[in-house]
């Protein structure tokens, strides 16, 4: 099983920490369906160099394909097909562009694999595997335990990542995952008991929920938080602004151990929200969202997208100034990217605004379309300037100064600076396979509530 990587992630010169955060849970989940007698290995190219010429010819090769790693994924697939392995491809990019992917695999999977993967395994064992499997029935009721024994924990800062739901109840025009869940339920969860059982299997205190919207089903979230309460866990997750403002729900999450939340603010220009169908943000008071999180001791990772049609050259400074002034601990910036399979891609393509279809450059850091309010060069330069300005020492101190306590200011400084000011240290830890040793430090910062 392979998770291919971009060249940047395997550079001989520098390894960014973001590629060593989470293990490939999707592949480990699929591995759980395989018989106990199967010899299985997971290879994450983000954290280890692949040796495709090791002389081994697996019976079955599974490749997970994202848009920016598609070229590398197809190289791996073509290599093993030439050796005689049976190669299957799945993931977001395969679902978005199945005809492209089908040229490189014996079988492709469209959509999530919980219903189709077991069917394929039976068909393949009998020699009657189909060329394409399309997910229709969406359920996590019979999900087997994730094969965490196949994950090399020492290679990841956050080995205790977990996903207890699939998809999102919202349908934003730029969301890459909307097409992935087309044709069936777009948001569904495990049973609470199954989710709690998976949590109990994880050692230590720290957890990271990789769900797109952990708070998306309030009834499920409340039961999950009640089950986690008293377990002494510290955890991070993602949710929407409307979920943060919902009465009572955030407090239950905090009581269960929530200490940091990824929030998709997306834009400071209100008209952009309606244009992108980001309805859950329309009319919301962003400042109130940040205050509510901080008042409950939760740090904020704010996500922002530049290049929407309502954005002009002033959007970068406005966004950064607001984020710093609000005291957001960390920020993630993106250039709006029209992924194939999304409503945004269809609209931009119909307007003849795509600059190219070189998927490796669809990484939210490069401009791949013609913006309305500025030149492509302005958009790209503004994106990089936003990161530089937000993570200046002066900006970090200004954001920390918004906290009312010395403890809060220290936590802000440690968390914000830790990601962007000590990258040489992260590089050394990653190369020495020692990155997990930094986890106690992360736990200490999160516990400074």
The rounded mean pLDDT for the chain is 92
Do residues 137 and 116 make contact, with C-beta atoms less than 8 angstroms apart?
A: no
pLDDT at 283: 44
pLDDT at 280: 47
Strand (E) or helix (H) holding 187: strand 187-189
pLDDT at 376: 97
pLDDT at 276: 45
pLDDT at 275: 56
What angle do the packed helices 393-401 and 406-420 form, to 10 degrees?
A: 150
Query: What's the whole-number mean pLDDT along residues 165-173?
Result: 82
- At 362, the pLDDT band (50, 70, 90 cuts) reads very high
More confident site: 39 or 177: 39
pLDDT at 12 over 90: no
pLDDT at 277 over 50: no
**Tens-place pLDDT, residues 92-123:** 999 999 999 999 999 999 999 999 999 999 99
For the chain, give the number of residues.
449
**Tens-place pLDDT, residues 400-410:** 999 999 999 99
- Considering only 11-25, 308-322, 338-352, which range has the smallest mean pLDDT? 11-25
pLDDT at 271: 56
Residue with tokens 């802000």: 412
pLDDT at 272: 57
pLDDT at 273 over 60: no
pLDDT at 183: 79
DSSP, res 224: H
**Tens-place pLDDT, residues 134-160:** 999 999 988 999 999 999 999 999 999
pLDDT at 174 over 80: no
**Tens-place pLDDT, residues 186-217:** 899 999 999 999 999 999 999 999 999 999 99
Do residues 214 and 263 make contact, with C-beta atoms less than 8 angstroms apart?
A: no
| pLDDT over 70, % of the chain | 96
Q: What is the spatial distance between Cα 171 and Cα 189, in angstroms, rounded to a whole number? A: 17
| pLDDT over 90, % of the chain | 79
- At 282, the pLDDT band (50, 70, 90 cuts) reads very low
Q: What is the spatial distance between Cα 369 and Cα 433, in angstroms, rounded to a whole number? A: 39
pLDDT at 184 over 90: no
Task: Give, in degrees to the nearest 5, the angle at Cα 30 between 25 and 35.
Answer: 135
pLDDT at 278 over 80: no
pLDDT at 433: 87
**Tens-place pLDDT, residues 386-445:** 999 999 999 999 999 999 999 999 999 999 999 888 888 888 888 888 999 999 999 999
Q: What is the spatial distance between Cα 389 and Cα 94, in angstroms, rounded to a whole number? A: 37
Domains, in order of start, for the chain: 2-134 (3.40.50.280), 157-446 (3.20.20.70)
- What is the DSSP secondary-structure string of 61-98? EEEE--GGGHHHHHHHHHHHHHHT-EEEEESHHHHH-H
Do residues 162 and 207 make contact, with C-beta atoms less than 8 angstroms apart?
A: yes
Query: What's the whole-number mean pLDDT along residues 351-356?
Result: 97
Of the chain, the end-to-end C-alpha distance in Å amounts to: 40
Residue with tokens 């002034």: 325
pLDDT at 337: 95
- At 55, the pLDDT band (50, 70, 90 cuts) reads confident
Q: Averaging pLDDT over each range in 119-128, 285-294, 423-432, which range is the top one?
A: 119-128
Query: What's the whole-number mean pLDDT along residues 242-255?
Result: 95
């Amino acid at each position: 099983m392979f998770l291919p990587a971009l060249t940047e992630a395997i550079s001989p010169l520098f390894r960014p920490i973001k590629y060593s955060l989470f293990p490939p849970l999707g592949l480990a989940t699929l591995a759980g369906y395989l018989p106990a007698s199967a010899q299985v290995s997971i290879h994450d190219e983000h954290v280890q160099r692949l040796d495709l010429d090791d002389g081994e010819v697996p019976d079955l090769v599974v490749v997970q394909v994202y848009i920016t790693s598609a070229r590398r994924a197809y190289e791996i697939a073509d290599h093993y097909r030439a050796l005689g392995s049976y190669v299957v491809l799945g993931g977001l990019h395969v679902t978005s562009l199945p005809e492209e992917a089908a040229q490189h695999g014996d079988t492709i999977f469209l959509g999530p694999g919980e219903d189709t993967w077991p069917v394929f395994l039976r068909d393949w064992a009998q020699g009657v595997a189909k060329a394409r499997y399309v997910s229709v029935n969406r359920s996590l009721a019979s999900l087997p335990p994730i094969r965490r024994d196949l994950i090399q924990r020492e290679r990841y800062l956050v080995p205790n990542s977990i996903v207890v739901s699939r998809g999102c109840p919202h349908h934003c025009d730029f969301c890459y995952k909307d097409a992935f869940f087309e044709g069936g339920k777009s948001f569904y969860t495990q049973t609470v008991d199954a989710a709690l059982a998976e949590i109990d299997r994880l050692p230590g205190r720290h957890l990271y929920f990789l769900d797109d919207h952990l708070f998306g089903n309030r009834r499920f979230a409340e039961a999950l938080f009640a089950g986690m309460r008293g377990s002494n866990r510290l955890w991070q997750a993602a949710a929407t602004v409307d979920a943060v403002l919902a009465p009572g729900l955030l407090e239950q999450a905090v009581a269960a151990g929530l200490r940091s939340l990824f929030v998709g603010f997306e834009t400071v220009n209100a008209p952009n929200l309606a244009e992108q169908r980001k309805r859950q943000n329309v009319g919301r008071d962003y400042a109130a969202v940040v205050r509510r999180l901080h008042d409950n001791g939760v740090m904020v990772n704010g996500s922002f997208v530049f290049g929407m049609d309502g954005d002009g050259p002033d959007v970068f400074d406005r966004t950064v100034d607001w984020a710093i002034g609000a005291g957001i601990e960390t920020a993630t910036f993106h250039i709006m990217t029209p992924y194939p399979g999304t409503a945004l891609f269809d609209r931009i393509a119909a307007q003849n605004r795509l600059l190219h279809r070189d998927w490796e450059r669809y990484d939210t850091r490069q401009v791949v379309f013609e913006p309305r309010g500025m030149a492509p060069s302005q958009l790209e330069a503004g994106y990089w300037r936003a990161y530089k300005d937000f993570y200046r020492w002066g900006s970090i101190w200004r954001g920390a100064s918004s906290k009312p306590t010395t403890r809060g200011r220290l936590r802000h400084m440690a968390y914000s600076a830790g990601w962007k000011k000590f990258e040489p240290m992260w590089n050394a830890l990653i190369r020495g396979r020692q990155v997990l040793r930094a986890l106690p430090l992360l736990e200490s910062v999160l516990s400074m509530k």
